[in-house]
């Protein structure tokens, strides 16, 4: 409660803009009597982030923009926050609104479970049978996800590894097999 106004903040995992819009719509539908449903979202990670925000009838720049600033400062992606306000009869002023909406976002983010988003690269590795144990050991040590192993004239392993580890693993495979590994990114 801030000066008799009630602020309810909710956050959700939204991997795309449609999911963000659906999350916002669900909250609006669940609380139709609220005065405002202000929101901010970040979809994506790193350089490919799409941001959105709305003051939903509050004075311009007093809700959506500060909410988005808190999200950006939290170094998150694929998240939408909606702050629902039930007006309590007292005008908060520009500074009061900015503080109230920012604090509501901080409060919900403090409770939010977090996970790391790891982008994986698929590798197709072709080797002779004699190199199978060596290559398999390297992949296991790198905690690669083995998707498939095909045993024909040669062994073909399909695995996924973090994009950040591709160069290191490729170099290890080439060195350990004396360059006899045939590696393709897929």
Q: How far apart are CA 20 and CA 78, in angstroms?
A: 8
Q: Tokens in use for 75? A: 């170094």
Cβ–Cβ < 8 Å for 8, 107: no
Ordered by where they begin, the domains of the chain are 6-111 (3.30.230.30), 120-185 (3.30.70.240)
Q: Confirm whether pTM is higher than 0.75.
A: no
Instruction: Please report the pLDDT score of residue 3 as a whole number.
Output: 67
Q: What is the mean pLDDT of each run of 10 residues along the chain (186 residues)?
A: 81 94 96 94 85 92 94 89 87 86 93 78 94 94 93 95 92 92 92
Cβ–Cβ < 8 Å for 12, 29: no
The H-or-E segment that residue 172 falls in is: helix 166-176
């Amino acid at each position: 409660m801030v000066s008799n106004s009630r602020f309810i903040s909710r956050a959700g995992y939204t991997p795309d803009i449609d999911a963000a819009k659906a999350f916002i719509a669900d909250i609006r539908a669940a609380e139709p009597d609220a005065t405002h449903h202000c929101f901010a979202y970040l979809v994506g990670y790193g350089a490919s982030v799409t941001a959105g925000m709305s003051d939903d009838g509050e004075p311009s720049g007093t809700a959506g923009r500060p909410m988005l600033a808190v999200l950006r400062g939290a170094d998150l992606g694929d998240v939408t926050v909606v702050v629902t306000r039930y007006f309590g009869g007292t005008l908060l002023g520009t500074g009061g609104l900015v503080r109230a909406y920012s604090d509501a976002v901080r409060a919900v983010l403090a409770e939010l479970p977090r996970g790391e988003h790891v982008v994986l690269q698929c590798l197709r590795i072709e080797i002779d049978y004699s190199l199978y144990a060596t290559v398999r050991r390297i992949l296991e040590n790198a905690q690669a996800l083995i998707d498939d192993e095909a045993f024909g004239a040669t062994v073909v392993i399909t695995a996924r590894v973090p994009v950040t580890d591709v160069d290191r693993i490729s170099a290890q495979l080439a060195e350990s097999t004396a360059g006899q590994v045939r590696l393709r990114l897929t």
